[in-house]
A and B are shown apart, each in its own frame.
Chain A
């Protein structure tokens, strides 16, 4: 097991290296002058040249890349072109918010998706199944940003139950402690703070949960249907097991194995989807930061954020494979 895990992580390294090279080359070839970005349009040619030298932009690309990579391996992703602050710090400031949003969404999507898929499979080809699968299809067809906007209109604008955007009210979060809005809210204002943070979190979390929930429901349905048609389930039926017990004890755990893998993979896609959801809700996460950085051409920041997303995504891929290998004894590793 340890060797399998080691091998998987080793394969990861060259691909992450290539990803970092790819982003580096892509971003450098996009052009734009970081020195001008820092100093403004009216800077003198001398000071521009000086800043370029200071930022190491006069070196050839490979030298710049190796220097950046060397720093990245030590946890230093360079300095923001725009503000000059550490990219690592900027990203770490924002990452907890993204993580909090993604985890909350999975907390909604996994149980509901699995429940819907299970009910669909057990009641296959009935009205319940059709409604639930149509829901699943709508779930994968609905644009995340539209779902977000519609939820805002209904629950924030019309009903006024929750705030329109943001992660906390203004008086909170000035001195974030853990940077998780729920925990910070509680630490600063007790139950009121927690309630306030939760009210901010619920709409973005639901918005982001739509897609993985639909995917999980569809996978759960087909997986359980497959198991229910296997010989051992028929044997169980033949020896007189009650249907509920048969499903719950024999079919469900086996059907769950591939779905767990999907859930791990979906968490990775969720991080990509978070870019959109965070923009809709002005959620102070890494996705929002990336979009802002792209808009202001702060490519050092973009580069760091892309690398972070790639690392997290790749790790979740490994996690998916490993859980599969652990859960399914038929898999040899």
Chain B
């Protein structure tokens, strides 16, 4: 992206200021764009809610049927649902679930995809052909649909939804890592390492992985956001989290049944999903401006 190259040029600091920027970390911080900072602050706030919030707000499953379907009020800032459960409490608990789900998706997808891509590109041969053909086939399917089918077949639970979405994202990581490794593995320093007698394992871990990691981490950051989005979509469709879990997507699907009597029910869970996904997209975008701008094109679909 050209915008980023221009940014790099303007970020060349005059010598006096450069001395002041003591460490590489400080220099790196200067390059983070305002949108990156916004995303970071947003994410920090969400993490705080996810970690500390549940202890403050109490039990998300506590019912109080006489106080059901109440609009937002001082007692219930976001109102109550059809069982009189406090929406704020449930939304706060949902933050923990959704952030965890997003990270879980990336652990599955990045973990397996990274391994596949690295080994396929390094070993080449029949294994690479088989692995990358499989990746191409997976990419030739609409991902959301595939995840829905997998989750439904594996008995619908939050855990299976996370695994299903993770599986569907494997090919994206594998393809990216494969492409980057292809270009890196022929460099002289890899050949030098091999000539010096380094084992395959050492070459992969010490010489190829560091080159692959930055673009993979950018992809992973965006992947957490997309994972949150997809897992909540699966829960919304009924093949993810099951009641009474305070999962945002599930809360929305339950809210839709009361759309005529209590339209406010659906506002906050959805807002939670959007802010969480937005924070990861903001961070991912500014990270991708920092990492090799040429690679950026392949990271962003």
Task: Give the chain B neighbours of A215 by CB distance below 8 A.
Answer: 301
Is B232 on the interface with A (CB-CB < 8 A)?
A: yes
> Which listed residue, A19, A143, A229, A314, touches B232 by the CB 8 Å rule?
A143
Is A252 on the interface with B (CB-CB < 8 A)?
A: no
Task: Give the chain B neighbours of A289 by CB distance below 8 A.
Answer: none
Task: Check if B270 sits within 8 Å of A146, measured CB to CB.
Answer: yes
Is B99 on the interface with A (CB-CB < 8 A)?
A: no
Task: Name which residue of chain B comes closest to A230, CB basis.
Answer: B2
Is B92 on the interface with A (CB-CB < 8 A)?
A: no
Shortest distance between the CB of B46 and any CB in chain A (Å): 13
Binds B, one of A64-72, A109-117, A183-191, A305-313: A305-313
Bound complex: CA of A152 vs CA of B260, how far in Å?
10
Is B143 on the interface with A (CB-CB < 8 A)?
A: yes
A-B contact pairs, 19 of them (CB 8 A): A15-B133, A18-B134, A143-B252, A145-B249, A146-B271, A149-B255, A149-B256, A152-B259, A153-B259, A157-B260, A225-B2, A271-B142, A272-B143, A272-B144, A275-B145, A294-B148, A310-B142, A313-B140, A313-B142
CB-CB under 8 A for A141 and B274, given A15-B140, A18-B137, A291-B237: yes
Is B229 on the interface with A (CB-CB < 8 A)?
A: yes
Is B86 on the interface with A (CB-CB < 8 A)?
A: no
Binds A, one of B19-27, B102-110, B277-285: B277-285
Bound complex: CA of A146 vs CA of B148, how far in Å?
18
List B239-264 residues whose CB lies under 8 Å from chain A. 239, 249, 252-253, 255-256, 259-260, 263
Bound complex: CA of A269 vs CA of B172, how far in Å?
15
Is B166 on the interface with A (CB-CB < 8 A)?
A: no
Bound complex: CA of A157 vs CA of B264, how far in Å?
12
List A289-323 residues whose CB lies under 8 Å from chain B. 290-291, 294-295, 302, 306, 309-310, 313-314, 317
List B272-301 residues whose CB lies under 8 Å from chain A. 273-274, 277-278, 281-282, 285, 300-301
Task: Check if A141 sits within 8 Å of B266, measured CB to CB.
Answer: no
Is B152 on the interface with A (CB-CB < 8 A)?
A: yes
Task: Check if A291 sits within 8 Å of B2, measured CB to CB.
Answer: no
Is A137 on the interface with B (CB-CB < 8 A)?
A: yes
Bound complex: CA of A309 vs CA of B147, how far in Å?
13
Shortest distance between the CB of A143 and any CB in chain B (Å): 5
List A143-180 residues whose CB lies under 8 Å from chain B. 143-146, 149-150, 152-153, 157-158, 164
Task: Check if A295 sits within 8 Å of B238, measured CB to CB.
Answer: yes
Binds B, one of A23-31, A47-55, A234-242: A23-31
Is A326 on the interface with B (CB-CB < 8 A)?
A: no
The secondary structure that dominates the A interface is: helix
Q: What are the 6 closest A-B residue pairs judged by CB atoms, nearest first?
A: A146-B270, A272-B142, A30-B153, A141-B278, A141-B277, A272-B144
How many residues of B are in contact with the other chain, CB < 8 A? Answer: 51
Task: Name which residue of chain B comes closest to A291, CB basis.
Answer: B237
Task: Give the chain B neighbours of A268 by CB distance below 8 A.
Answer: 142
Is B75 on the interface with A (CB-CB < 8 A)?
A: no
Task: Check if B270 sits within 8 Å of A143, measured CB to CB.
Answer: yes
Task: Give the chain A neighbours of B229 by CB distance below 8 A.
Answer: 141, 143
Task: Check if A149 sits within 8 Å of B252, measured CB to CB.
Answer: yes
Q: Given contacts A141-B225, A146-B269, could you give 18 more A-B pairs where the C-beta distance is less than 8 Å?
A: A30-B153, A140-B281, A141-B229, A141-B277, A141-B278, A145-B253, A145-B270, A149-B255, A153-B259, A157-B260, A226-B1, A272-B144, A272-B145, A273-B144, A275-B144, A294-B152, A294-B239, A309-B142
Is A276 on the interface with B (CB-CB < 8 A)?
A: yes
Task: Name which residue of chain A comes closest to B267, CB basis.
Answer: A150
Task: Check if A19 sits within 8 Å of B225, measured CB to CB.
Answer: no
